[in-house]
Amino acid sequence: MSGVNKNIVILISGSGSNMAAIVEASFKQRWQARMGARVAAVISNKVAAQGLSWAREQGIATRALEHTQFSSREAFDAALMAEIDPFEPALVVLAGFMRILTPGFVQHYEGRLINIHPSLLPAFTGLKTHQRAIDAGCRFTGATVHRVSTELDHGEILDQAVVPVLAGDTAETLAARVLTQEHILYPRAVERLLGAG
């Protein structure tokens, strides 16, 4: 990833807690001064996503594209690319972006598109990961940062954090503990990728 400005575009659908963790790490660890890297924009598929107002308060450009206004996934993804591309992103970071992306979108950002998933991939791809880990009797679960490929939750694993499953855990209590680790894991993985450029 060459160039002085390594722009990061983060995609969210809700509160954007992982987005906020990445933004805060970028300020605290001086990514701009050290690596020429900054979070340039936060984009959501929901106009009312709470994370957008938080990002605006940090002085970050925001965009919202309501996916329900588009006739197809392809049409939405094309409009989304048109919003992302002017920022010339070194990385496009999915942070609770609750959309399955089309192969065309994934290929457009190949090598630059990453996601965080709340399990130790390749275990428990898809949804309801915490309940499935509990139901399977797992003693450990966690979170995985991975490159996005055209197959859901199957891209190259970049980093993982392990979280114990405790007796009496519910999906909610386990999710909360995993999320605290996500907030450490995701900024670390992003910084490592940018620093390698």
Domains (range + CATH), the chain: 6-195 (3.40.50.170)
d(CA 106, CA 150) in angstroms, rounded, equals: 6
Average confidence (pLDDT) over 65-84: 97
d(CA 156, CA 149) in angstroms, rounded, equals: 8
Catalytic site residue from 117, 130, 146, 183:
117
What mean pLDDT value characterizes the chain?
95
Q: Which residues fall within 8 angstroms of residue 135, CB to CB, at 6 or more apart?
A: none
Task: State phi, psi for 22 to the nearest 5 degrees.
Answer: -70, -45
Chain segment 91-147, per-residue pLDDT in tens: 999 999 999 999 999 999 999 999 999 999 999 999 999 999 999 999 999 999 999
Q: Using an 8 Å Cβ cutoff, are 56 and 20 in contact? A: no
Residue 4 has pLDDT above 70, yes or no: no
Torsion of CA 60, 49, 16, 175, to 10 degrees: 180
Q: For position 153, what pLDDT does the model report?
A: 87
Average confidence (pLDDT) over 76-96: 98
Q: Is 67 a catalytic residue?
A: no
d(CA 35, CA 6) in angstroms, rounded, equals: 8
d(CA 131, CA 137) in angstroms, rounded, equals: 10
Residue-wise over 30-56: b if at least 16 C-beta within 10 A, else e?
Answer: ebeeebbbbbbbbbbbbeebebbebbe
Q: For position 3, what pLDDT does the model report?
A: 45
Alpha-carbon separation of residue 197 from 8, 100, 160, 181 (angstroms): 13, 28, 21, 25
